[in-house]
Amino acid sequence: MDKGKMAGILSVMALLGFMGAFAFLLTNTIPEDNKDLVNIALMALVGFTGTGIGFFLGSSEGSQKKDETIKDLATTPPAGTPGPTGPQGEEGPRGPAGP
């Protein structure tokens, strides 16, 4: 699975989890003994959701696209660039090219 697609799925899952936890807190009473645990879990969900939204709406996505573009430019020679011996049939720096 594509890394970007997986990040999107995880972000949506975190957002749905946060919304579900928030709806649960609005409709139910939490026992006094469990309030600290619920607060910690809710804050973790807030962090996960914020990170996912920050990635897709922030500079991280642009930075990732920039890195991919640089990688593509570094590995793909520009169109029309002759090989080490020049176009077929012409003499290059290493002598005549091709048969």
pLDDT of residue 91: 53
**Domain of 48?**
3-75
Exposure string for 68-98, b = 16+ CB within 10 A, e = fewer: eeeeeeeeeeeeeeeeeeeeeeeeeeeeebe
Residue 23 lies in a domain: yes
Contact present, 39 and 21 (Cβ < 8 Å): no
The pLDDT value recorded for residue 83 is: 57
Please check whether residue 39 lies inside any domain of the structure. Answer: yes
Q: How far apart are CA 15 and CA 23, in angstroms?
A: 12
90 within a domain of the structure (yes/no): no
Give per-10-residue mean pLDDT for the chain (99 aa).
Answer: 76 83 86 89 83 72 79 75 56 55
Q: How many domains does the chain have?
A: 1
In a domain, 84, yes or no: no
Residue 85 located in a structural domain: no
Task: For tokens 């609005």, name the residue.
Answer: 26
